[in-house]
Amino acid sequence: MKITPEKLDELIRIVHLAGIEIIKIYKKKVTKKYKSDNTPVTNADIKANDIICKGLKRHFPDISIVSEEQIKKGKAAKRFWLVDPLDGTKEFLKGNGEFTVNIGLIENKKPVFGIIYMPTKNKLYFTKDKKSYFSKLNKKGHINNIKKIKVKKRNKNIVILSRSHSLAKNEVEKAKKMVFKRFNANKILRSGSSIKLCYIAHGLANVYPRFGTTMEWDTAAGDAILRFAGGRIRTLDRKILRYGKRNFRNSSFIARS
C-alpha cells in the first residue's frame, strides 16, 4: 500500500495530537497501574491510544489495528497497523523525556511504513517512497526542514543500549569491555524507547543489541525507518525480523547500520 502525501499528512497530524496529550499529562498529573505482565500503563498511554486508533480508523477504515493497549486476538491480517501509543513508559515515568509515539504498517509480515514522534524534542522520523526522513515539528504540527537520512558506516562502531536495562555499577566496566570487543566499538550511548533505531537510521549510532523479549509494536515503526535508511534488524540466528507472529513477540535481535 502506498501512503499518499495526503495520508502522510494525516498520520503526522495523528502522532502530533497524541504527543500533545501525552505532554499535557507529563507536565501535570500522571496516573499508572500495572498490566498482567507487570509492565506499567499510564493515563497518557490510554489517551494517546484512543487518539491514534480513532484517527487510523477514520482515515484507513479497511486496515486493522494491533496496539499495545488494544491487542487483537487470533491470526494477524496480511496488512495491519502496529501501534505503540507511548513507547518508553518507564522513561516517561522517570521524567527524562525519552519516549515516543510509534505507528508502523505491516504488509505480508514486513514493515512497509513507519512514523515515530518524540514529543519532548519535537523530533519526527518517518518513511516515504521507501526512503527515511527526519524533521522537526513546529507547535502547529507542521514539518520544518525535512532531511533524508541514511545509515553511516564507521571503522569503530557506536553501540546504543537501552537506558532502562542498566547493570549494577560493579558490572558496568566488564560489560563495556565485552560490548567494545563483540561489536568492534569504541563508544556506548544510552537512550530509551524506539528512538534508538532512529538514531542508527540517522547515522548517529551503528549497533543496537536487544537481548530478551520485545513486542512487535515496540519495533515495527523503527524497523521500517531503519530498513529504508539502509540498515537491518536480524534475530540472533541472522534472520530478518518478521511481523504478525503468534502473540506478537520478538526474540532477541541486533539492529545494525
Cα–Cα distance, 128 to 77 (Å, whole number)? 23
Same domain, 143 and 71: yes
Same domain, 122 and 236: no
Same domain, 9 and 123: yes
- Residue 112: CATH number of its domain: 3.30.540.10
Same domain, 88 and 184: no
DSSP for residue 38? S
Same domain, 142 and 33: yes
Cα–Cα distance, 144 to 127 (Å, whole number)? 16
- Neighbouring CB atoms inside 10 A of 178's CB total 11
Q: Could you tell me the residue range of the domain that residue 10 belongs to?
A: 5-149
Question: Residues 92, 256: contact at Cβ < 8 Å?
Answer: no
Same domain, 26 and 108: yes
Give the cell for residue 142: 507542521
- Residue 246: CATH number of its domain: 3.40.190.80
Cα–Cα distance, 75 to 22 (Å, whole number)? 31
With residue 14 as reference, give the H or E element that holds it: helix 5-27
Same domain, 173 and 221: yes
3-state secondary structure of 201: helix
Same domain, 186 and 120: no
The number of folded domains in the chain is 2
Same domain, 74 and 190: no
Same domain, 33 and 68: yes
**Going residue by residue through the chain (257 aa), what tens digit of pLDDT does each one get?**
889 999 999 999 999 999 999 999 999 989 999 887 788 899 999 999 999 999 999 999 999 999 988 766 556 789 999 999 999 998 999 999 999 999 999 999 999 999 999 999 999 999 999 999 999 999 899 998 899 999 999 999 999 998 865 556 666 677 788 889 999 999 999 999 999 999 999 999 999 999 988 999 999 999 999 999 999 999 999 999 999 998 899 999 999 99
Cα–Cα distance, 84 to 24 (Å, whole number)? 18
Residue that terminates a domain, selected from 116, 131, 149: 149
Same domain, 111 and 62: yes
Question: Residues 188, 204: contact at Cβ < 8 Å?
Answer: no
3-state secondary structure of 223: helix
Question: Residues 211, 251: contact at Cβ < 8 Å?
Answer: no
Same domain, 67 and 183: no
Taking the whole predicted model, whether its pTM rises above 0.85 is answered as yes
Question: Residues 105, 113: contact at Cβ < 8 Å?
Answer: yes
Residue that terminates a domain, selected from 92, 114, 149: 149
Cα–Cα distance, 114 to 229 (Å, whole number)? 12
Distances (CA, A) of 132 to 72, 112, 229: 29, 11, 5
Residue that terminates a domain, selected from 133, 149, 165: 149
